[in-house]
Homo-oligomer: A and B are copies of this chain.
Amino acid sequence: MSEVKSLSHLRAGVIGTGFIGPVHIEALKRVGVQVTAVCGSTAGATATAEKWGIPEVHGDYDYLAMCASPNVDVVHITSPNKFHVEQSLAALSAGKHVVCEKPLGMTTAETTPLVVAAAASDRVFAVNYMCRFFPGVLQMRELVQSGKLGKIIHVQGHFFQDWLLKETDFNWRLLADEGGKLRAVGDIGTHWIDAVSFILGARAESVFATLETFHKTRLRPSGPVQTFTEVDPSEMTRYEVDTEDFASLLLRFNNGVHANASVSQVAAGIKCSLYIGIYGTEGSVRWDLQQPNEIILGRRDEPNQILQRGSAGFLNDVAHFTDYPAGHPEGFPDSHKMHCRAVYEHIASGETTPVLFATADDGHHEMELCEAILNSASQSKWVTVGT
């Protein structure tokens, strides 16, 4: 384990007890942070507290009570997307640091005032684009920003999943009212764009997008459902789908780099592949979430290299965000752990460590991108981001 300043004096409260809430709890415990409070439905919050040994329970979705708790330094927001902004504002108002799940909100209209509030506050505000904290992503960023790949020419990649392939697959994210007008792009495509922006140290300034809804209608269960559970099709209702199944995104970054990303939640057999290839004049790097512990470094006139996390070719400042020796694979949960480490060390240090995590402004930028993507797709033309 690398030596890090103790985070054991910081105390977190988590709003939300669905899939991602416990992911935060586990990550927090792994970096030594105390998880002192949980908020959700009364049943959900009570069960979560019992499972994890969390002393303070705020049932009935009473997030204001949690924000007011003297036993909480940092509020984690893992509730559905449409509650992110109001809960973020409440937590900031209460003087708490905030770690908000992505997306930051539903629209830029909503997130604009939050950016203002976060800027005005002296608290830390982080959006959980945790893909930045895969050591492979951090290392690709180093290789790009140090100039080791020369001038970057183009970027290509994808984010493919298959969990919404069938018309009987249901999740609240399928509904624009619940998850936002963009679904595949909003849910996973923004991870791709955020990671690429982070690596390049640049932002997309214009986009061309094609959005396709393959299943014009789908079937949904009558009652409420969780992600990743099975439902009997005979008890389902057909409804019109107002979010896209897949997309092609062309992006022009403000450093001149062209990027091409395919995004799909209907790619059979591919459970969760986030793939990024960065091509420069002196070399390329390729990385896939499916094999997160290595990067392929491509060279024209020398052999390609396999950079292994924890060994030669991974730089020192990346080492702070990996704990296990080379050859001992880390994975998806470790990226959440390292996101927590970055945010909490920033807090513990009095905000003196580098801001590697996504800020409110970064979260807002992703909202602007989503709106530009929607505009481009509906108008079939290149659209400038933020207009």
By a beta-carbon cutoff of 8 Å, the part of chain A in contact with chain B is 1, 4, 6, 8-9, 19, 22-23, 26, 29-30, 32, 34, 50-53, 149, 153-154, 156, 158, 161-163, 165-166, 208, 210, 212, 214, 228, 245-246, 248, 250, 258, 260, 262, 264, 266-273, 277, 279-284, 289-293, 296-308, 310-313, 323-334, 380-382
Cα separation A266 to B22 with both chains bound (whole Å): 41
Q: Which residue of B lies closest to A311 (CB)?
A: B271
Contact A212 B258 (CB under 8 A): yes
This chain: how many copies in the complex?
Answer: 4
Contact B313 A308 (CB under 8 A): no
Contact A212 B154 (CB under 8 A): yes
Other A-B pairs, 8, CB within 8 Å; known A8-B51, A267-B298: A32-B53, A34-B53, A248-B250, A260-B262, A266-B281, A268-B283, A306-B306, A333-B334
**What are 29 sample pairs from A and B whose C-beta atoms fall under 8 A apart?**
A1-B19, A6-B53, A29-B30, A32-B52, A154-B246, A162-B300, A165-B281, A248-B250, A248-B258, A250-B250, A260-B262, A266-B281, A267-B277, A270-B327, A271-B308, A271-B326, A271-B328, A272-B326, A272-B328, A290-B329, A301-B312, A303-B306, A303-B308, A304-B305, A304-B306, A323-B333, A324-B333, A329-B331, A330-B331
Instruction: Pick from A22, A161, A303 the residue with the most CB of B within 10 Å.
Output: A303
Please give, as numbers and ranges, the residues of chain B lying within 8 Å of A296 by CB-CB distance: 269, 306
Contact B292 A264 (CB under 8 A): no
Cα separation A150 to B304 with both chains bound (whole Å): 21
Cα separation A156 to B23 with both chains bound (whole Å): 32
Cα separation A153 to B289 with both chains bound (whole Å): 23
Please give, as numbers and ranges, the residues of chain B lying within 8 Å of A208 by CB-CB distance: 208, 210, 380
Contact A8 B312 (CB under 8 A): no
Contact A299 B268 (CB under 8 A): yes
Contact A268 B280 (CB under 8 A): yes
Please give, as numbers and ranges, the residues of chain B lying within 8 Å of A269 by CB-CB distance: 283-284, 296-300, 304
Q: Which residue of B lies closest to A259 (CB)?
A: B248
Contact A51 B26 (CB under 8 A): no
Please give the distance in Å from A229's CB to the nearest CB on chain B: 11
Given known contacts A8-B52, A210-B208, A166 and B331 CB-to-CB distance under 8 angstroms:
no
Please give the distance in Å from A144's CB to the nearest CB on chain B: 13
Please give the distance in Å from A123's CB to the nearest CB on chain B: 22
Contact B272 A325 (CB under 8 A): yes
Contact A264 B330 (CB under 8 A): no
Cα separation A333 to B29 with both chains bound (whole Å): 14
Contact B329 A324 (CB under 8 A): no
Contact B279 A264 (CB under 8 A): yes
Please give, as numbers and ranges, the residues of chain B lying within 8 Å of A297 by CB-CB distance: 269, 303
Given known contacts A262-B260, A380-B381, A329 and B289 CB-to-CB distance under 8 angstroms:
yes
Contact A279 B298 (CB under 8 A): no
Cα separation A292 to B9 with both chains bound (whole Å): 35
Cα separation A166 to B151 with both chains bound (whole Å): 12
